[in-house]
């Protein structure tokens, strides 16, 4: 356990010195390796071996597909379609922001990108329709992570590969809490904040409502078809996650460069070359993280850290439920400070074996881990989603503290249910 403590302390210090996370993790691992006498000669093979995996090709493919899809006005297509579906129901604008975030997140694969994309459209729309700016900002921040739990999910792929589990099963396990939170957010918005929304005057017209849905559906469904193809293909055993990534890129190119621009006359915001460069930089960062994560992983393996952590936890308590409570608290705090994929790569190889020793299914633990880390993304005082949303609205974090805590309160029952009712996460798992 001392080794874990040294690593965490060294990693935090390096991160505070503004050394990029992948290098902080790798350098902290190297420093700690020296303290226990592990030979450095193993590192090149370990680092290359960590990324020399056919399965990991799915990650840059999904990133590129999501970025290419964004070329053709996918954000506006989703928002327009969902707004048409919600119609004139009370709280429709707020519900549109929630559902659009959930759906866009499945395509973008990034909660921060979702906050930026959906917030750019829905923040002004919510304020224009009477919502308090502080609440609107909190809702956008809180909704940003929903799509990360709904497949296809890049963090789901990272977890599955880190612990040697099925990607499809991990996606199914995280989908339930993601969908459940989306529904609860909409209900919460409807009960407590719908009264702020300006209501359209005049009688409801069924014909106009259906025409609006009919007009917006083709553009919206084109956007949603990509994650649906990927999920059905992987879960149905038709293709591997890597093959699904290639299919997603092909579909993204067709949708972003042919269907939206030529058929729907949507103008793209960036050229293909610019988007390709952007995707390459993002993917390179993640792959560098995966490579450098091999350093602490090798250190922990040689030192028998997973076993040591398990023994230490058993010395504290042998109660599975108390263990899960401890893990929840730790992971939420970690999620406040650390990007989700980084946390998974560093902690999953240690915590997942410990969870199994306590009788927790590793697929069930995937739902627990990802949900905790994503809730950490909206938990003050350090929360990436909040920082991005506040930057867009021009507010400071203290201004939205009350409404963001309300959304965290909505998350807690779902987190506890996911943690202590395994069937909730495993209901669709084969």
* pLDDT bucket at 52, cuts 50 / 70 / 90: confident
Per-residue pLDDT, 70: 67
CA distance 129 to 126: 5
Per-residue pLDDT, 8: 76
Whether the predicted pLDDT of 1 surpasses 70: no
Vertex 331: Cα angle to 330 and 335 (nearest 5): 125
Pair 15, 24: CB distance under 8 Å? yes
Mean pLDDT value across residues 65-73: 71
Task: Give the range with max mean pLDDT: 53-67, 291-305, 344-358, 361-375.
Answer: 361-375
Nearest alpha carbon to residue 148 among 323, 348, 374:
374
Per-residue pLDDT, 365: 97
CA distance 288 to 47: 9
Burial of 220 (0-12, 13-18, 19+ CB in 10 A): buried
Domain ranges of the chain: 2-426
Whether the predicted pLDDT of 87 surpasses 70: yes
Report how far apart, in Å, the C-alpha atoms of 169 and of each of 181, 197, 326, 366, 373 are. Answer: 19, 40, 25, 9, 19
Q: Cα-atom radius of gyration of the chain, to the nearest Å?
A: 22
Span 309-320, pLDDT tens digits: 888 888 889 999
Cβ density class 265-282: b for 16+ within 10 Å, e for less:
ebebeeeeeebeeebeeb
Span 415-430, pLDDT tens digits: 999 999 999 999 988 7
Pair 222, 197: CB distance under 8 Å? no
Whether the predicted pLDDT of 363 surpasses 90: yes
CB atoms inside a 10 Å sphere around CB 204: 10
Pair 345, 290: CB distance under 8 Å? yes
* pLDDT bucket at 290, cuts 50 / 70 / 90: confident
Residues 6+ apart with CB under 8 A from 227: 106, 107, 150, 151, 152
Q: Cis bond leading into 282, ω under 30°?
A: no
Residues 6+ apart with CB under 8 A from 130: 196, 197, 198
Average per-residue pLDDT in the chain? 85
Q: How many residues does the chain have?
A: 430
Per-residue pLDDT, 19: 82
Span 7-17, pLDDT tens digits: 778 877 887 78
How many CA atoms lie less than 13 Å away from 115 in the CB half-sphere? 26
| pTM summary value | 0.85
Per-residue pLDDT, 418: 96
Mean pLDDT value across residues 69-75: 68
Span 186-207, pLDDT tens digits: 999 999 998 888 876 556 677 8
Poorest-confidence range of 56-60, 98-102, 163-167?
A: 56-60
Q: At what angle do helices 58-69 and 92-108 cross, to 10 degrees?
A: 140
Per-residue pLDDT, 71: 62
Per-residue pLDDT, 269: 52
Per-residue pLDDT, 99: 94
Vertex 383: Cα angle to 377 and 384 (nearest 5): 85
% of the chain at pLDDT higher than 90: 34
């Amino acid at each position: 356990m001392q080794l874990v403590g040294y690593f965490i302390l060294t990693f935090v210090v390096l991160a505070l010195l503004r050394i990029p996370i992948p290098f902080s993790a790798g350098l902290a691992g190297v420093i700690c390796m020296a303290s226990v006498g592990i030979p450095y000669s193993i590192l090149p093979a370990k680092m290359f071996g960590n990324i020399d995996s056919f399965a990991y090709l799915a990650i840059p493919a999904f990133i590129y597909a999501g970025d290419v899809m964004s070329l053709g006005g996918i954000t506006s297509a989703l928002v327009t379609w969902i707004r048409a579906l919600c119609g004139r129901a009370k709280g429709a604008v707020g519900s549109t922001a929630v559902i659009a975030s959930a759906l866009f997140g499945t395509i973008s694969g990034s909660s921060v990108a979702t906050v930026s994309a959906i917030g750019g459209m829905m923040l002004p729309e919510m304020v224009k329709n009477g919502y308090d700016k502080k609440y609107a900002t909190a809702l956008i921040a809180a909704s940003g992570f929903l799509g990360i739990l709904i497949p296809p999910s890049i963090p789901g792929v990272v977890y599955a590969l880190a612990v040697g589990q099925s990607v499809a099963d991990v996606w199914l396990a995280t989908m339930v809490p993601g969908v459940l939170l989306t529904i609860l957010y909409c209900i919460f918005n409807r009960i407590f904040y719908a009264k702020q929304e300006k209501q359209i005057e005049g009688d409801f017209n069924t014909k106009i409502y259906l025409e609006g849905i009919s007009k917006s559906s083709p553009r919206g469904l084109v956007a949603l078809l990509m994650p649906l193809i990927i999920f059905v293909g992987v879960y149905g055993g038709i293709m591997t996650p890597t093959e699904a990534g290639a299919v997603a890129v092909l579909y993204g190119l067709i949708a972003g460069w042919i269907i939206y621009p030529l058929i729907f006359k949507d103008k793209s915001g960036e050229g293909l070359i610019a988007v390709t460069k952007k995707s390459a930089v993002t993917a390179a960062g993640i792959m560098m993280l995966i490579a450098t994560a091999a350093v602490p992983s090798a250190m922990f393996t040689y030192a028998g850290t997973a076993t040591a952590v398990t023994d230490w936890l058993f010395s504290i308590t042998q109660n599975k439920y108390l263990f899960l409570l401890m893990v929840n608290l730790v992971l939420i705090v970690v999620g406040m400070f650390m990007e989700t994929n980084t946390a998974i790569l560093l902690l999953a190889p240690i915590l997942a074996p410990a969870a199994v020793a306590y009788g927790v299914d590793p697929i069930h633990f995937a739902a627990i881990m990802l949900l905790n880390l994503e809730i950490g993304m909206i938990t003050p005082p350090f929360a990436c989603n909040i920082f991005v949303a506040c930057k867009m609205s021009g507010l400071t974090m203290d201004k939205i503290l009350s409404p963001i805590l309300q959304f965290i309160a909505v998350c807690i029952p779902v987190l506890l249910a996911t943690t202590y009712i395994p069937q909730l996460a495993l209901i669709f798992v084969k």
